[in-house]
Amino acid sequence: MMDVLNVAIKILNFVKAGALNSRLFKLLCKDMESEHEALLFHTNVRWLSKGNMLGRLYELREEVEIFLDSQQKVDLYDKFQSEGFHATLAYLVDIFEALNAVNLKLQKKNINILVHHDTIRTFMAKLDLWKCRILQGNVASFRNLDTALADSYLDSELKEQIITHLSDLKSEFVRYFPDIDDKREAWKFIRNPFQCEDFKDMDLETFWVKYLHVYPLTSH
C-alpha cells in the first residue's frame, strides 16, 4: 500500500512539476469533458491533503493514464497500469476519506471531550466491522473499492493487506487512547445521571455507594 501511495505522489509531482505539464493536463481534461481539470497538491505537513489528493487522482485516473502515456512516462505508466494498482488506490481513497471525516469531527466547534470520546469509539467499532466484512470478501463498506471490483472479486493478496491494515489501524487507536473503555462507564453517569441504568435498578443508597470512587464528596 505504501508503494501505491508513493507512486501516486510521484505521478502528482510529475503532472504538477511545471506550468507546461499542468496546462497540457488541463487541456486533456477539457477534451475529455472531465468534472475536474487539475490534480491537487500533496504536502507532508498537512496529512489531510493525502486523502484529498488521492481522491482527485482516482477520479481522474483515465485522464492520468492517457497523459502519462502521451508524455512517455513509461515507468509511472506501467506502475499505474499494473495489476491490482487501481483496486489498492481505491481502498486508500476510501480509508483516507474515513480518517479525514473523523479528524474533521474532532475539530468541530462547540463540542466536548464526551463527543470526542463517542467519535473515536464509533470509528474503532467501524474498523472491527469493516475487518469482519473484508474477511467474508464483502467490500460494500468501501465505496470506491466496491465500484472498482464491480465485475470481479477481492484479490486474496489485497484482502490480506486490507485486513492487516485495519488491524494495525485499530492497534494504533488503542495505543493512542488506552483508557477509552474505562472512561465509558464513568462518563455515562456524567451525561445524564438520572437516565443511568444503575439509577433505575438500584436503591438510592446502593447507587451512591457504587459511585463513591467517581464522586467521593457527593457520595459521602
Number of neighbours of residue 219 by Cβ within 10 angstroms: 14
Q: How far is CA 48 from the centre of its chain?
A: 10
Provide the Cα torsion 46, 162, 11, 41; round to 10°.
-20
Over range 157-184, report the average pLDDT.
90
**Cell numbers at residue 136, please?**
467474508
DSSP letters along 14-28, please?
HHTSSHHHHHHHHHH
CA dist 197 and 49 (Å) reads 43
pLDDT digits (tens, 9 = 90+) for 98-153: 998 998 888 888 888 888 888 999 999 999 999 999 999 999 999 999 999 988 88
Amino acid in position 170: K
Q: How many CB atoms lie within 10 A of CB 174?
A: 12
- 4: Cα separation from own chain's centroid: 16
Segment holding 126, helix H or strand E = helix 113-135
Cβ(183)–Cβ(177) below 8 Å? no
Say if residue 163's pLDDT is above 80.
Answer: yes
Beta-carbon count within 10 A of 95 CB:
22
Higher pLDDT residue, 60 or 158?
158
CA distance 4 to 161: 12
Instruction: Provide the whole-model pTM.
Output: 0.76
Helix H or strand E segment including 123: helix 113-135
pLDDT bin (cut points 50, 70, 90) of residue 170 is: very high
Q: How big is the chain, counted in residues?
A: 220
Q: Residue 37: exposed, middle, or buried by beta-carbon count in 10 A (0-12, 13-18, 19+)?
A: middle
**109-137: string of b/e by CB count within 10 Å (b at 16+)?**
eeeeeeeeeebbbebbeebeebbeebeee
